[in-house]
Amino acid sequence: MCRPRAATFFFFFFFFLCSASSALAGGRAAALYSEWRSATATYYGDTGVATGTCGACGYGVLREAAYRRSAAVSGTLFGRGSACGGCYELRCVDHILWCRLGSPSTVVTAADFCPPNYGLSGDSGGWCNYPREHFQLPEPSFSDIAEKAADVVPVQYRRVDCERLGGVRFTVSGSSSFYQVLISNVGADGEVAAVKVKGSRTGWIPMARNWGQNWHCAANLLGQPLSFEVTTGGGRTLTSYNVAPADWKPGQTFDGNQFH
């Protein structure tokens, strides 16, 4: 008489444990970082993206864009701008002379393009030549993982979530026939794969990548409050309603919601 009840109890108890374990594993899987890959890294001093120049992603003054530790990446990684805003964790490996003890890591944001130099070989100055995977790091980030005296070091890298303060930022510009927005300070995986804009007198309008993280469309959105829908490279979508007021002006920046 008792055995069927006991069997039923243990069946449901086992089912509960399996379901809970699967749910926890699924939660962890969603937060897992990508696999480590091999690349190389150098550093820049007081020139390049560290100076606040707009770079190939169009972020403008990087300190204002909260990308103080910004890297230029080779064309293989840059992907014609699709990598802009992505966050990468790097660690120096396989060099006992130059790598910091214990292989500590550093996290940087892809914010510029490292151009190739086909006048030099890939292992002698042409670090960003195709198909090499290379990071040109700010000096503080490079010093986190390697001795500054090193010219170039072997590294491993992986994609990680971006930790941002405040909301996604929309820097707007446009005319009666053209509208453009620069998108920055994106959390989650940081990369932007698709953008839509909506005025108070329009439906949702898909935008196209102009360059870097500048997106545009052929529409007259003057005099309308603006809403935005941003989709990351990882497929997450965030909608921010009425971010810009009807009297927005070109060059103004507005904060929307943020990925969590």
Q: What pLDDT, on a 0 to 100 scale, did the predictor assign at position 220?
A: 94
Question: Tell me: the pLDDT tens digits for 39-68?
Answer: 999 998 754 444 444 689 998 766 655 567
CB atoms closer than 10 angstroms to residue 1: 4
Res 64: pLDDT: 53
Look at residue 60 in the predicted model and tell me its pLDDT.
Answer: 78
Calculate the average pLDDT of the chain. 85
pTM greater than the 0.75 cutoff: yes
Q: Return the domain boundaries, the chain.
A: 37-160, 169-255
pLDDT, tens digit (0-9, with 9 covering 90-100), for 111-130: 999 999 999 988 788 999 99
Which residues, given as ranges, of the chain have pLDDT below 50? 1-32, 47-53
CATH of domain 169-255: 2.60.40.760
Fold for 37-160, please state it. Answer: Barwin-like endoglucanases (2.40.40)
pLDDT at 20: 37
Q: What is the pLDDT of residue 25?
A: 33
Quick count: other Cβ atoms within 10 Å of Cβ 56?
22
